[in-house]
């Protein structure tokens, strides 16, 4: 018999033989940081935490867990927002944090190979030192990992320009549920030899394999930047202006939106100054990047469509950082206010304005006291609906938001995934046939269901 978190657990002893006893955490105090998610909304007890240092060790850990019938929750930076990275009760947490090596940049191919536990910030820094960029960027860059962003197919600010994480993955190495290793790390841009396993693992949320290394595409650096924050009447107007700018200004990299209620929280909790004397109905942030200074072209386009009263332009590093902080500070400022429900949806671009008006109306009528704070990557139709003032487990919130997203032919998950938080609503934007096909893939690759049970589908 083993006891939860006990040193008398035979699995703990078996895993210690593989990774060393200092990397098998059974003490509740040492486990605690791995058992609670970033939002504080999701937590559960782990049987133990294991921290392999190499692909070979990860494979042996998975093999021994499979032999013992022990379920595994893979974990990277633990910044996921849908509860998929923390245990629900008694699983082994397999942390990739020790596997954080970024190999030298392959400048001929403009690619980099990194271990799963490398942070996005570390990959970005390595790329920049070679005059290149890793085009996935998100506010959690300092903690979010290569493996976690692949497992969630993370999006972030620059999806409209470069695509999500899946579009950057040119090679993958992963451990399957029986401990075998699949490796496609050649970095070939053309390689049509059967099923695209790398693409399949992107967005699989730790349910099909444990990613151990990846080869990633890099893009030329665009060192000259300009950021504008613009005040508009509504999200619909922001989406229209965004579409015009994307058409007319080649250097547009990011189009982000936020609203007075979120800007107020960022101002209050993080001390960031507001750009205008009064709030507009909706804020639009535009970032442009180029080898030449993109500011004149951006300023001219804003002048044509807007006039200058409701626009501020940042060209120096500190000015741009301050404007970005207004938008990027949202998750932190909201967390400082309380535990929110975080719902992340995509809309067809033409319906963003309608969604915004209607979601506020439906939440007000179905969940009294709910405080919606909206922001998002609107260039991609992606709106994060954060809701304070409601019990974190009050399902009426998700019901109202996801039902509306489905009615308007959007998606209930733009970039965070399904995790455990959205399992109940998967059927809203995936058909029965779709879900059957996904389950068949899961059973084929993980027949005993040890990889992240309860994520994506109800545990069987």
Ligand X SMILES: Cc1cc2nc3c(=O)[nH]c(=O)nc-3n(C[C@H](O)[C@H](O)[C@H](O)COP(=O)(O)OP(=O)(O)OC[C@H]3O[C@@H](n4cnc5c(N)ncnc54)[C@H](O)[C@@H]3O)c2cc1C
Contact footprint for ligand X (CB under 6 A): 38, 73-81, 84-85, 96, 116, 138-140, 143-145, 147-149, 151-152, 154-156, 205-206, 210-211, 331, 415-416, 452, 455
Shortest separation between residue 305's beta carbon and ligand X, angstroms: 27
- Name which of 18 and 159 has its Cβ closer to ligand X: 159
Nearer to ligand X, 34 or 402 (CB): 34
Q: Which is nearer to ligand X, 92 or 288 (CB)?
A: 92
How far is residue 430's CA from residue 406's CA, in Å, rounded to a whole number? Answer: 10
Residue partners of 455: CB distance under 8 A and separation at least 6: 84, 205, 206, 207, 418, 419, 420, 423
Q: C-alpha distances in angstroms, 404 versus 289, 408, 413, 420?
A: 35, 6, 13, 20
CB of 324 to ligand X, least distance (A): 12
Please identify, using beta-carbon distances, which residue of 158 and 402 lies nearer to ligand X. 158
- Residue closer to ligand X, measured from CB, 74 or 294: 74
Handedness of CA 251, 254, 259, 261 (dihedral sign): negative
Closer of 79 and 386 to ligand X (Cβ): 79
| Residues 6+ away with beta carbon under 8 Å from 277 | none
Question: If DSSP codes are grouped into helix, strand and coil, which group holds residue 215?
Answer: strand
First to last CA, the chain: 24
Determine how many CB atoms are found less than 10 A away from the CB of residue 278: 7
Rounded least distance, CB 111 to ligand X, Å: 19
CB of 201 to ligand X, least distance (A): 7
Q: Compute the least distance from the CB of residue 388 to ligand X, in Å.
A: 16
Nearer to ligand X, 115 or 297 (CB): 115
Instruction: State the nearest-atom distance from the C-beta of 121 to ligand X, in Å.
Output: 12
> How far is the C-alpha of 440 from the C-alpha of 431, rounded, in Å?
14
Rounded to a whole number of angstroms, the minimum distance from the CB of residue 363 to ligand X is 22
Q: Hey, CA dihedral for 31, 32, 37, 42, is it positive or negative?
A: positive
For ligand X, give the closer residue by CB, 280 or 331.
Answer: 331
Cβ neighbours around 98 below 10 Å, total: 15
How near is the Cβ of 400 to ligand X at its closest, in Å? 22
We find the least distance from the C-beta atom of residue 211 to ligand X, in angstroms, to be 4
State the residue number with the nearest CB to ligand X: 148
How many CB atoms neighbour CB 444 within 10 A? 9
The angle subtended at Cα 158 by Cα 157 and Cα 160, nearest 5°, is 115
**Rounded CA separation 382/404 (Å):** 14
Nearer to ligand X, 63 or 396 (CB): 63
Furthest-apart CA atoms within the chain: distance in Å:
73
Nearest approach in angstroms of CB 136 to ligand X is: 8
Pick between residue 152 and residue 346 the one whose CB is nearest to ligand X.
152
As a whole number of Å, the CA-based R_g of the chain is: 22
- H helix or E strand, kind and range, residue 400: helix 395-407
Q: How far apart are CA 364 and CA 278, in angstroms?
A: 25
Place of tokens 């979010």: 144
């Amino acid at each position: 018999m083993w006891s939860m978190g006990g040193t008398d657990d035979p699995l703990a002893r078996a895993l210690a033989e593989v990774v060393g006893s200092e990397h098998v955490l059974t003490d509740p105090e040492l486990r605690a940081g791995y058992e609670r998610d970033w939002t504080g909304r999701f937590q559960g007890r782990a049987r133990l935490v294991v921290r392999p240092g190499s692909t070979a060790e990860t494979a042996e850990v998975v093999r021994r867990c499979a032999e013992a019938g022990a379920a595994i929750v893979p974990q990277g930076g633990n910044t996921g927002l849908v509860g998929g990275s923390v245990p629900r009760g008694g699983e082994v947490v397999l942390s990739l944090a020790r596997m954080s090596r970024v190999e030298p940049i392959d400048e001929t191919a403009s690619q980099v190979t990194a271990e799963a536990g490398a942070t996005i910030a570390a990959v970005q820094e390595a790329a920049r030192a070679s005059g290149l960029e890793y085009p996935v960027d998100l506010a959690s860059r300092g903690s979010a990992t290569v493996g976690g962003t692949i497992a969630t197919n993370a999006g972030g600010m620059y999806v409209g320009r470069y695509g999500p994480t899946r579009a950057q993955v040119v090679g993958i190495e992963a451990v399957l549920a029986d401990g075998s290793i699949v490796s496609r790390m050649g970095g070939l841009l053309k390689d049509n030899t059967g099923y695209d396993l790398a693409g399949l693992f992107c967005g699989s949320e730790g349910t099909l394999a444990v990613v151990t290394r990846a080869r990633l595409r890099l893009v030329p650096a665009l060192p000259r930047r300009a950021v504008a924050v613009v005040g508009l009447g509504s999200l619909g107007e922001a989406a229209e202006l965004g579409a015009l700018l994307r058409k007319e200004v080649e250097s547009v990299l990011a189009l982000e939106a936020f609203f007075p209620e979120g800007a107020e929280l960022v101002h209050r909790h993080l001390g960031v100054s507001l750009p205008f004397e009064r709030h507009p109905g909706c804020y639009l942030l535009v970032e442009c990047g180029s080898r030449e200074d993109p500011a004149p072209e951006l300023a001219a386009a804003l002048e044509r469509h807007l006039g200058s009263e409701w626009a501020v332009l940042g060209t120096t590093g500190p000015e741009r950082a301050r404007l970005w902080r207004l938008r990027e500070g949202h998750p932190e400022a909201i967390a400082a206010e309380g535990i929110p429900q975080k719902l992340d949806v995509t809309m067809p671009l033409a319906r963003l304005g309608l969604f915004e008006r209607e979601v506020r109306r439906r939440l007000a009528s179905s969940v009294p006291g709910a405080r919606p704070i909206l922001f998002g990557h609107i260039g991609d139709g992606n709106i994060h609906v954060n809701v304070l003032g409601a019990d974190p487990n009050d399902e009426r919130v998700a019901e109202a938001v996801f039902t509306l997203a489905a009615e308007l032919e959007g998606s209930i998950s733009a970039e965070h995934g399904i995790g455990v938080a959205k399992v109940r609503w998967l059927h809203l934007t995936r058909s029965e046939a779709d879900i059957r096909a996904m389950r068949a893939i899961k059973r084929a690759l993980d027949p005993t269901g040890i990889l992240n049970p309860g994520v994506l589908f109800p545990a069987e």
